[in-house]
Structure 1
Amino acid sequence: MGNNNEVFIEEIFNASPEKVFSAWTDPVKLMKWYAPDGCTIHFKKIKIETGGQFHSCISNPQYGDCWCIGEYKEVSPNTKIVFTLINADENGNPINPAEIGMDPDWPGATLVTVTFTEENGKTKLQLRQTVSQELAKKTGAYPSWLQMLNNMQTILNLN
Structure 2
Amino acid sequence: MTNNTVNETERMTITRVFDAPRELVWKAWTDPKYIMQWWGPKGFTAPVCKMDFRVGGKLLCCMKAPDGQEGWNAVEYHEIVPYEKIVSLMYFSDPEGNKIDPAQLGIEDEAIEGAYDVTLFEDLGNGQTKLTFIGNEPTESAKNSGQLDGWNEILEKVAAVVAELAQAK
Q: TM-score, normalised by structure 1?
A: 0.88
Does 2:44 correspond to 1:10?
Answer: no
Q: Which residue number in structure 2 is paired with residue 116 of structure 1? A: 121
Q: Which residue number in structure 1 is paired with residue 135 of structure 2? A: 129
CA distance in 2, matches of 1:21, 1:79: 8
Task: Give the Å deviation of 1:120.
Answer: 2.2
Secondary structure in structure 1 of the residue aligned to 2:137: coil
CA distance in 2, matches of 1:156, 1:91: 29
Does 2:79 correspond to 1:82?
Answer: no
The gaps in structure 2 that reach 5 residues or longer are 1-6
Structure 2 CA distance for partners of 1:37 and 1:44, relative to 1, 3 Å? closer
Moved over 3 A (4+): 107-110
Task: Give the Å deviation of 1:3.
Answer: 2.1
Task: Give the Å deviation of 1:151.
Answer: 1.0
CA distance in 1, matches of 2:68, 2:148: 17
Does 2:128 correspond to 1:154?
Answer: no
The gaps in structure 1 that reach 5 residues or longer are none
Secondary structure in structure 1 of the residue aligned to 2:83: coil
Does 2:87 correspond to 1:95?
Answer: no
Q: Which residue number in structure 1 is paired with residue 4 of structure 2? A: none
Q: Which residue number in structure 2 is paired with residue 106 of structure 1? A: 110
Q: Which whole-Å deviations, capped at 9, do the CAs of 1:39-91 have from their partners, x for residues lacking one?
A: 01143531112221122211112371221122111222111111110112233
Q: TM-score, normalised by structure 2?
A: 0.83
Structure 2 CA distance for partners of 1:124 and 1:44, relative to 1, 3 Å? closer
Would you say how many aligned residue pairs link Structure 1 and Structure 2?
157
CA distance in 2, matches of 1:52, 1:91: 14
Superposed CA RMSD in Å reads: 2.1
Q: Which residue number in structure 1 is paired with residue 150 of structure 2? A: 144
Q: Which structure has the bigger radius of gyration?
A: 2
